[in-house]
Structure 1
């Protein structure tokens, strides 16, 4: 009976892991789109960034936003590889 419980817990863990990978892949794809959009913006276009845990947006520097979005994308990719 203990082998049955161990098998079930392994399936549950594998299921959770695959769900986490799915969610992370979706976030990575979204972040790639954000990076591409920022990269393809004209130099004179305005960019606004949202403040954490708020609905308030402030004018931001396009290059800084692009850099931070790339950094976030890299972190997500590393996290996916660690799973």
Structure 2
């Protein structure tokens, strides 16, 4: 096999692995959105600070909106691959 074919096959396998990872993240985000959508109105929602084990009380509607935006962004990124 030539070096060009090896590079191409490595690129394809990297792209495939990236798509699988993105698919997994999209599925996780869908579950998060569904869980937040099905919460009762009086339930509390906490968000975790990045790079920390500290959670803060958050507004459910804002959190749901943010998660939906993240999901839309992830879906767009996956389609672009």
Q: TM-score, normalised by structure 2?
A: 0.97
> Once superposed, what is the RMSD of the aligned Cα atoms?
0.8
SS at match of 2:16: helix
Unaligned residue ranges in structure 2 (runs of 5+): none
Asked if 1:55 corresponds to 2:62, the answer is: no
Cα offsets for 1:9-45 (capped at 9, x unmatched): 0000000000000000000000000000000000000
Distance in structure 1 (CA, Å) of the matches to 2:76 and 2:13: 21
Greater than 6 Å deviation, 4+ residue runs: none
Partner of 1:67: 65
Partner of 1:26: 24
Unaligned residue ranges in structure 1 (runs of 5+): none
